[in-house]
Structures are given as C-alpha cells and as structure tokens.
Amino acid sequence: MIPNGYLIFEDNSFLDSTVAKMNTLRKSGQFCDVRLQVCGRELTAHRAVVACCSPYLFELFSSSTEPSGVAHVTFEDLEPEAVEILLNYAYTAQLKAEKEQVRDVYSAAKRFKMEGVKQICGNYLLSKMDCRSAISNRIFASCMGDSHLLSKIDGYIQEHLMEISDQEDFLKLPRLKLEVMLEDNQSLPSNGKLYSKLIRWLQRTLLENGEQLESLMEEVQTLHYSAEHRLHGGSLFEGQAEVFGSDDHIQFVQKRPPRENDHWQIGPGSHTSLSPGSIDHLSHEWKYVASERTSNNAYLCLAVLDGLLSVIILHGRTSPQVSPSGTPCLLKSMSFEAQPEELDDRLLPPMHYARCGLGTAGLNGRLIAAGGYNREACLRTVECYDPLARTWSFLAPMRMPRARFQMAVLMGQLYVMGGSNGHSDELSCGEMYDLQTDEWTQVPELRTNRCNAGVCALNSKLYVVGGSDPSGQKSLNNSDAFDPVTKTWTSCAPLNIRRHQAAVCELGNFMYVIGGAESWNCLNTVERYNPENNTWTLIAPMNVARRGAGVAAYEGKLYVVGGFDGSRALRCVEVYDPAKNEWKMMGSMTSARSNAGVAVLGGAVCAVGGFDGNDFLSSMEMYDPDANEWRPCIDAADAI
C-alpha cells in the first residue's frame, strides 16, 4: 500500500536476521570496539549495542576521556561465562543460562545495572528453591543486598524451617547454644518475646562487655529464668552478681578474652562459592528470620547476628532447687535409681566422633561405624566397638571422606558405595574393607552417581538402590547389583516409587526398601524385592512416614528406627512382621535420631550417632525386647 505517495514496507525477518548477524560478528571479533577482560578471559563486543543494554557501561563510555577507538574494561570479580550470557542477551534478547550459572548471571547483571535481568534471575531462584537450597539462596541474596529477594526467601524459610534444619547447608551454619534453667512449673516466654530479648542481650554484650560472637558460640551458655520472669547469667549459681539491671535482665559469663580477628568473612571469588554463615551484606545487621518450638521447652531459631547468619538452639531445663546465689545440687535421673557415678560406669561408651549420615554394620561380633559428618567436616575415620571390652577403637580410615551412604557386609568384607564427600553431593566410587589386612581398596564404580542410596547384601551380591541424582533435585528408582567374583555391575528392575534416604535391609532372602523421600516428601511406603524373578512388590506401609531411618533384621522381623518425618527427628520405632504383613509401633528410643546407624550386635539391636534435631550425636543405645524399651546403659547388652 502506498498512502500519499510514500512507499511503506515492513520486513518482519529483518530484525532477527540483523541481530543474528551482529552477534556472529561479535563472536568473530569483527568491527568490535569494546574488549572486556573478565578474570583473564577477553570478550569482545560493539560499544553501541552493549551501552544500550547496560546502564553501567553506558555511563562508563559516556564519561570516558580516552580518544575514540577500542575501549578496554576489566572485571576481576565476575564469571566470564556469566558475562558471555549477558552479551548474548544484549544481541538476541534471549537469556539462556544453566541452573548453576543463574547466581553468577545475577551478579554480573547487578554490576552492569541490568535490573530486568536481575529480576528474572531472582524470580528463577525463587521458582526453583527447595529446602536444600534455601540457606545458600538467602546468603546469596543478602550479599547482593536484594531486600525483595530476601523477604521472599525468608517467607519460605519460615514455612519450612524444620525440614530445612535437616539440610547440609543449615547444619554447617555457626550456632549459639543456650540452656535456660527453669523453676518448677515455669515455661519459657513466647517465641517472639524470647528472641527479641536474646538479640538485645547479644547486642549489648558485644558492645559493652568486649565479648565476641565467635567466643560465645564455642560453648553452651547457661542462663537462669527466675520466678520473676527474668533471665540471669549462669554465673549466678556461683554467687556472681547480675551485671545488668535493665528490663532485659540477660547476661552471660565471659569465658575468655575477646579476640582481635574476626573469622566470619566472605572470601574472594565467585558469589556461588559462599559458605553458609557468610557475613550479611548489611554489616552489623540483627534480624530474627524464623523459629520453631521443637518441644515443650526447646526452640530452634534462624537469625542474623551482627551480620552473621546463625542458628540459635535453646533448651529449657528443670532448675536445681536452690536460689540463684546458692550451690546447685545434682539432678537425679528419672530413669535410673543409680547415683551419677554408678550411672557413668553403666552407660554405653560414646564414639570418639559425633557422626550423622554414617555407615554401620555388625562384623565378627563387633559394631563398625564409618564416615558420616558432624559440625566440622565430612569424616573418613572408622571406629569399631568391642562389646566385651566396652571400648571404641579406630580401624584404618576410608580412602576418602564419605557421608550419606550405607554399609553392607558381603562375604565377610565391608562395602561402602556412593554418598557425599562434603564437596560433591553424589559419588560413584566405592570401597571394600578387609578385616584381616585392615585396608580399604577401591571397587568398580557405580553405574550412576548417587547419594543417600540404600545398600544391601543379598544372595552373594551387593545391591545399591535408589538415592538422589547428580543434580540432587530428583530421587532415583534405579537398582543395580554388584558381583564380587566378576567385579561387574548389572541393572535390576527399577523401584515402583522413586526414593532416597530409604532404609534397606535383607530378610528371608528378600530385600526390603523402607520409607525414604520422593523429592522431599517423606514416604511410608515399603517395597520388597524378589531376586528369583527380579520384581518389586509394594507391601504394607509403615505407620509413620520417615526418611533417614535406620533398619536392622532381628529375630525374623525388621526394626525401623528413628528418621525424619518432614518436621522433626524421630524417636519412634516400628517393627515389621513378614508373616502377618503388618507394622507395629514399639518402645521409642531415649534420643531422637535422624540418619543414625543401626545394626544388630550380638543379641540386641543397637542405634548409634545421628542428629537429634539440635545436635550431632556420638552416643549409642540398645533395645531390650523383654522390657520393650531402649536403654543407653549396658543392661541392654547383657546378652552379648
């Protein structure tokens, strides 16, 4: 059409064609007048194009007094791949990034003042956020100073705190442990009031008393909650005077001189490598994030303390029947008549290391506990409990640190497969331990990298079942069998339900896979594998959905112990009778234990280590079938 004599023509393919050609010219370096040096890598572009897309570069080029020609811009704290993604976006209007690159792209977009891209990346992080990534996402958003993203993440954490508290990033956070001694018939103040008082006390202590947050976190701090509803420092039991007389009434004992250097710092490099607990973007920020009441007088809280994302664990304890200025008497155990000295002699000895996500097995009348993780690290040490000597001793350590795995005994040798080494979430490697030589040797790798998989010996083969995939986002239904003679892996029939952190055990020439989680939804379903026809059959479900439980076969039945139900670590135990195809609740353990080790030692089922919702455990306890109760003392082991 030619209105008023003018020729008007629109080529709908022109822009796409031109943009594609310009991007090709950029990648080949033709007609480029900008060189971006990003951590040693050179990226070329056209000044007019990138200036239109990035307000930062527009301002930089506009204010430059250098003569026209090729502009050089250097970035030492951005990822080259992220900047390349932004350049592609500037030329094509298409933003394409792998999931692992989104935070780096966000960081680069923040530097380039590309607010639209920042928002797109932030929304993507929120859409993909789960309980495993919530803490690292919060640390990242805080370091970026993104208050909108922070508020959304905090909202998610408030709704899922208990499930998040079982994740590795949360477990690595620095934590402040508090014990509050309570008078009879007292309870702690309400949630919000309690933590506002504690935060005010911490601020005052750091400012006026010369104390450092790091030193307070090194030991459990003791308080006394008086009948007047005031919190006093633990030193009052020793006749010390209360330091502050304000309405807060909170003061702890200074245990050691303050240190000059502060270890809670962000290291240089990519923002994606930030470790949990990094200093928040806003220095000296104090903020209550989320909390849960885990029992009648116990709280778990996530807070920002002086810019440091931290966990506060608070327990209320029954106070000795003395005034705050008196000398406390010894509390008597409600479970035993023995005096404390006698009680110590009767207690089962703890492991040398607290361990969660460990591998355990009974071998030659002894209990083997290997690997796992605690507050400090993923472990490679291996301990052996001798019930006759009642002592733990060390065996040769594994070849690499390993946690979130299971152990099985096959033809008199120990096998560990997959898991996490503290850096890579899913391993494919495995090891075999020879008790005669006290050595670990490598075995052929798994067909699939996996963490939190079940391991079981059945009919002279080693089975590895389920787990989580290399991305850590999806549960697996794979099952593979290892032949120790041919040293080869073969595939077996897949599970009916994808699951990780399931309890796996052999009983009556069948393999049972119990509970676990699909994604992060805890399961109560149970499957039984028949190696004769290579089939999985769903059987009666458990009474309680749980992941991270332990299991042992004892007197023709399966004992499933502890675990995590999606809200809290569990003490409860249930037993499966294959003859009746039914589950029955049994006596509960003395401690809640998630990701603990369970094995039969002599004539008793033994549980060791794990995580109780607040602390990593080194303790052990045994089941007394006659009394239908668990005991942390040697009475349960008399049959050994």
Structural domain total, the chain:
3
Domain CATH code at residue 103: 3.30.710.10
**Which pLDDT tens digit goes with each residue over 559-617?**
999 999 988 999 999 999 999 999 999 999 999 999 999 999 978 999 999 999 888 99
Whether 139 is covered by a domain: the verdict is no
Q: 186 phi and psi, to 5 degrees?
A: -105, 155
Whether 622 is covered by a domain: the verdict is yes
304 and 397 in a common domain: no
Whether 344 is covered by a domain: the verdict is no
Q: Which of 124, 54, 61, 55 is nearest to 83 (CA)?
A: 54
Contacts for 215 with CB less than 8 Å, ≥ 6 apart: 255, 256, 258, 259
Whether 8 is covered by a domain: the verdict is no
Q: Which amino acid is at 464?
A: V
Domain CATH code at residue 384: 2.120.10.80
Q: Is residue 73 pLDDT above 60, yes or no?
A: yes
Q: What share of the chain is helix, strand, coil (3-state, %, to 5)?
A: 25, 30, 45
**Which pLDDT tens digit goes with each residue over 109-121?**
999 999 999 999 9
Whether 135 is covered by a domain: the verdict is no
195 and 82 in a common domain: no
- Check residues 335 and 220 and name the one with the higher pLDDT: 220
360 and 308 in a common domain: no
227 and 124 in a common domain: no
* Residues 198 and 251: beta-carbon distance below 8 Å: no
Q: Is residue 60 pLDDT above 70, yes or no?
A: yes
d(CA 582, CA 538): 12
379 and 240 in a common domain: no
* Residues 91 and 22: beta-carbon distance below 8 Å: yes
Q: Is residue 622 pLDDT above 70, yes or no?
A: yes
Distances (CA, A) of 458 to 366, 484, 503, 568, 590: 21, 12, 15, 32, 32
Whether 527 is covered by a domain: the verdict is yes
Q: Is residue 639 pLDDT above 90, yes or no?
A: no
447 and 374 in a common domain: yes
- pLDDT band with cut points at 50, 70 and 90 for residue 214: confident
DSSP SS3 for 53: helix
588 and 445 in a common domain: yes
398 and 290 in a common domain: no
- Check residues 235 and 442 and name the one with the higher pLDDT: 442
314 and 180 in a common domain: yes
* Residues 323 and 341: beta-carbon distance below 8 Å: no
| Average pLDDT rounded to a whole number, residues 412-433 | 86
Confidence (pLDDT) at 349: 92
- Token readout for 519 is 């994604």
What's the pTM? 0.52
β-pairing, 439-443 vs 550-554, is unpaired
Whether 185 is covered by a domain: the verdict is yes
**Which pLDDT tens digit goes with each residue over 513-530?**
999 999 778 999 999 999
- State which residues form the domain around 210: 171-254+277-318
623 and 536 in a common domain: yes
291 and 186 in a common domain: yes
Whether 266 is covered by a domain: the verdict is no
| Average pLDDT rounded to a whole number, residues 268-292 | 60
449 and 564 in a common domain: yes
Answer with the one of 128, 154, 189 that is the final residue of a domain.
128
β-pairing, 454-458 vs 597-601, is unpaired
